[in-house]
């Protein structure tokens, strides 16, 4: 009976000692989950921005030759919509959406075939490629002696069909 | 033993409950992005867009009846932005600690493709 009581007391003490560590682990897990959601949002923002940019065709070229060719402002449209999409997740970002979009490396390849100077990828159709480093707030990581800002890289490529 | 359970059970449920909330948020975000693309394609709000959202949410285990959807503007012209917002609440219950509802908001912007 005494041994059982000792075991119970020992379990309670162990729990009290381990509780701070478990709370830290819990906070880290939750922050990791939030980072996962933020990362998915940023990737979706980049995807949507490039999709919107390639949906607009050069109508004159299409009427003249029947070939798909991107509109002349495709890269600007991708940048504008990337900023708009990021604006919707502004509280998660560690920089302003317009700054992130302005710093993004966006390239339009109006006609195919083309080779991406950054990735080396070959595009058999017109394409818009967006590459950006997006800084995300991770305050819990900061409190746990890691970085307060976690930067994730996104790469999105879209082509018209 | 009661003390140990009172400490560890809330921790375990916190991980499970918030993990579930984040999973639901991801699913809701994905449905919203798809809906924005479709809204741009058909030129704004429509039964097809709302049906798409409902089907996407249902396939992720979310009851569409508990979700509010807003598509602005309802009728979008060529090259004009259209915004789809989806909002819901997720009930988080942590034994011995608290029960609360977490608002989950998703939004995405696309561009009108219908030349009216």
Burial of B107 from C-beta contacts in 10 A (0-12 / 13-18 / 19+): buried
Question: What are the strands, taking DSSP E only, across A6-148?
Answer: 105-109, 114-115, 122-123, 127-137
Structural domain total, chain B: 1
pLDDT digits (tens, 9 = 90+) for A99-128: 999 999 999 999 889 999 999 999 999 999
B26/chain A closest Cα distance in angstroms: 6
From chain A, the residues in CB contact with B18 under 8 A are 30, 33
Bridge partners (DSSP) listed for residue A129: A107, A157
A123/chain B closest Cα distance in angstroms:
23
Rounded CA-CA distance B63/A122 in Å is: 43
Instruction: Tell me whether residue B116 is in a domain.
Output: no
Is 80 exceeded by the pLDDT of residue A4?
no
Q: Is B58 on the interface with A (CB under 8 A)?
A: no
pLDDT at A102: 98
Q: Tell the burial category of A123 from Cβ atoms under 10 Å away from its Cβ (0-12, 13-18, 19+).
A: middle
Residue B33, min C-alpha distance to chain A (Å)? 7
Instruction: Determine, for residues A47 and B26 on separate chains, whether the beta-carbon distance falls below 8 Å.
Output: no
Confidence of residue A17 (pLDDT cuts 50, 70, 90): confident
Q: CA torsion sign, A55 to A58 to A64 to A67? A: negative
Candidates B7, B33, B79; nearest CB to A19: B7
Q: Which two tokens stand for residue B8?
A: 């560890």
Q: Give the CA distances from residue B84 to residues A90, A125, B98, in Å, rounded to whole numbers and listed in that order.
A: 16, 29, 32
* Cβ–Cβ contact A13 with B under 8 A: no
Closest residue in A to B115 (Cα) is A56
Enclosing domain of residue B84:
2-111
């Amino acid at each position: 009976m005494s041994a059982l009581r000792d075991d119970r007391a020992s379990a309670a003490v162990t729990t009290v000692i381990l509780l701070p560590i478990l709370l830290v682990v819990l906070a880290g897990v939750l922050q990791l989950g939030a980072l996962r959601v933020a990362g998915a949002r940023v990737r979706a923002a980049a995807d949507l921005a490039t999709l919107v940019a390639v949906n607009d065709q050069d109508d004159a070229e299409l009427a003249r030759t029947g070939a798909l060719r991107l509109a002349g402002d495709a890269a600007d449209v991708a940048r504008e919509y990337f900023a708009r999409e990021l604006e919707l997740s502004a509280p998660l970002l560690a920089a302003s959406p317009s700054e992130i979009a302005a710093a993004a490396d966006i390239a339009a390849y109006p006609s195919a075939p083309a080779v991406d100077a950054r990735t080396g990828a070959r595009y058999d159709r017109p394409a818009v490629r967006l590459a950006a480093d997006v800084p995300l707030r991770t305050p819990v990581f900061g409190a746990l002696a890691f970085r307060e800002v976690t930067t994730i890289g996104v790469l999105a490529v879209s082509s018209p069909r | 033993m009661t003390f140990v359970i009172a400490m560890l059970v809330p921790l375990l449920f916190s991980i499970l409950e918030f993990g579930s909330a984040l999973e639901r948020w991801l699913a809701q975000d994905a449905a919203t992005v798809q809906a924005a693309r479709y809204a741009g394609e058909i030129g704004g709000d429509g039964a097809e867009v709302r049906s798409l959202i409902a089907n996407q949410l249902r396939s992720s285990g979310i009851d569409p009846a508990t979700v509010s959807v807003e598509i602005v503007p309802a009728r979008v012209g060529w090259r004009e932005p259209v915004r789809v917002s989806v909002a819901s609440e997720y009930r988080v219950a942590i034994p011995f600690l608290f029960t609360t509802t977490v608002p989950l908001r998703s939004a995405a912007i696309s561009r009108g493709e219908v030349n009216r």
